[in-house]
Amino acid sequence: MTTIPTIELGIPKNKVRVPRIGFGTMSMPRVYGAVDDKESIKVLNHAIDIGCTFWDTANMYALGHTEKLLSHVLKERRNEVFLCTKFGVVTRKPEPGEAVSHHTDFITGFNGKPSYMRKCIKESLERLGVDYIDLYYLHFSDPDTPIEETIAAMAELVKEGKVHYLGLSNCSADELRRAHKAHPIAAVQVEYSAWCTDIETNGVLDACRELGIAVVAYSPLGHGLLIGKVRSHDSLSEDDWRRTHPRFKQENPDNNDKFISAIENMANKYNRKPGQLAIAWLLAQYDNLIAIPGTKQIKYLEENFAASQIKLSDEDLNKLRLLIDSANIQGNRT
């Protein structure tokens, strides 16, 4: 039987082992095109079956629909899943007849106030159909609320048993250090991939190493760019959010093609898919890292999860590092 690579997440005297590859649910609503809830539920159940049990969601994904979607599986299999969700983003309600394509279209601000957190945790628990969250993140910092105040309020949820661990998402190194002083932070979620290495230069990865905090890498496949299937802007469906992303604009896929081709060539050497190679490279960057690729298909779920079994040679890791550092990726990250 294949051993699933894991890491210890948490704080001293209160740690839990979780798989190094989890499941990100941002793409389950209509973010990268059409999706069927029944198919999504099949994918979620299969994820548990193969051991992909570190699940990440947020109250803002599909304006709450994604949390409700997960509840269909959690009602029978809650004890098999390490469940993570987030709060802190304020969204407006859709206008009558307005389609919910991507949740970012509905963002109106950020709120880290204790009263808002209380409202959000209550709603998330109800939508998910559970009585506790394993890892609860502040999604984005609120510029009008000191992060110490937010974290102190979140720590009360730990005392009450509604939350087991606290995390930050999209934070700065300074915010992380300040938050960690207020209450131990178990994980930081940030975009990290061969396509986006900002965490390596902005101090966040250094702070995580120093403080012993796990990194949860979202978009480890560069929103699909690193799997090599998006070679032109026209290959994206009309309702695909990536059509508005700077790196997927008409002129940029062609500019990025050389970078992707180099990854494909190395993946062929290992008889693996480009996306698997990209995830394997990412896992090698920090021992305390979890990648959370998302997908709407069982085929890609299995491919992504199998990437944890790939061990790249030191020579190839160095080659990839040189490639990434020298690549002229076109378009801003967001």
Residues 258/326, Cβ–Cβ less than 8 Å? no
Q: Tell how strand 89-91 and strand 107-110 pair up.
A: antiparallel
Rg of the chain (C-alpha set): 19
Q: What are phi and psi of 82, to 5 degrees?
A: -95, 110
Percent helix, percent strand, percent coil in the chain, to nearest 5: 45, 20, 35
Distance between CA 280 and CA 286 in Å, rounded? Answer: 11
- Number of residues in the chain: 334
Catalytic hit among 61, 137, 192, 286: 61
Active site residue 136: no
SS3 202: coil
Phi/psi of residue 16, each to 5°?
A: -140, 145
Residue 223's identity, in one-letter code, is H
* Catalytic positions, written as ranges: 61
